[in-house]
Structure 1
Amino acid sequence: MNTKAIYAACLFAALNICTLSARAETTATAHTYTYGTHLDIKRVVAVSQDPTPACGVVNARMTYLDSHDKTQVLDYLKFGDGCIGDN
């Protein structure tokens, strides 16, 4: 087997893995965090928050894998990063 065929096969496999993980994220329904919610987090995949910098409470979302490698999405509130000069 020549080198170009091996590289092409590896690239194809990598693209398939990325596509499968993207599909898994879209099928997960978001849950809203409440005090006392049991979190089963094996690995955090992504964390995002409202795009505008704000000083105060903002919406945030965490996508993670649980102990069964199932993609979960959690919506929660956090203190924004837009406060200048505040502790």
Structure 2
Amino acid sequence: MNRLIAFALLGFSTLAVAEEAKVAQAQPVVEHYTYSTDLDIAKVISVSPTQDVCEVVPAQMTYEDHQGQRHILEYRIMGNGCSNG
């Protein structure tokens, strides 16, 4: 009986590790934007909030291209913390 439980637990842990590996593969690699980046944006999924600082900060946009592939694009943006006066 103990062997049966041990094999069952081993089977569940193997499935959990396989599922984690599948999720890790599904997460797209962060691409860094340059002026020569060729963008194919069919649908924007999300955009990170802009920080409340008065300097250039990184931001990310998650989008799908026309083939349905998901991408994460990192770019630089001016923060929202600047005031005129």
TM interval, shorter chain, is 0.5 to 0.7
Q: Give per-residue Cα distances to partners, 1:6-64, cap 9 Å, x unaligned.
A: xxxxxxxxxxxxxxxxx59x6111000011110000011000046x4111201100000
C-alpha separation between the residues in 1 aligned to 2:82 and 2:38? 30
| Large movers: runs of 4+ above 4 Å | none
C-alpha separation between the residues in 2 aligned to 1:53 and 1:47? 15
Question: TM-score, length-normalised on structure 1?
Answer: 0.62
Counterpart of 1:81 in structure 2 is 80
Counterpart of 1:70 in structure 2 is 69
- Kindly, what percent of the aligned residue pairs are identical? 39
Counterpart of 1:44 in structure 2 is 44
Counterpart of 2:14 in structure 1 is none
**Structure 2 counterparts to residues 25-44 of structure 1, below 5 A:** 27-44=27-44
Determine if contact 1:63/1:73 at 8 Å carries over to the other structure: yes
Q: Offset of 1:85 from its aligned partner?
A: 2.3
C-alpha separation between the residues in 2 aligned to 1:45 and 1:62? 8
Larger of the two Rg values belongs to structure: 2
Aligned Cα RMSD in Å?
Answer: 2.1
SS of match in other structure, 2:81: coil
Equivalent residues, number: 62
Question: TM-score, length-normalised on structure 2?
Answer: 0.64
2:44 corresponds to which letter in structure 1? Answer: V
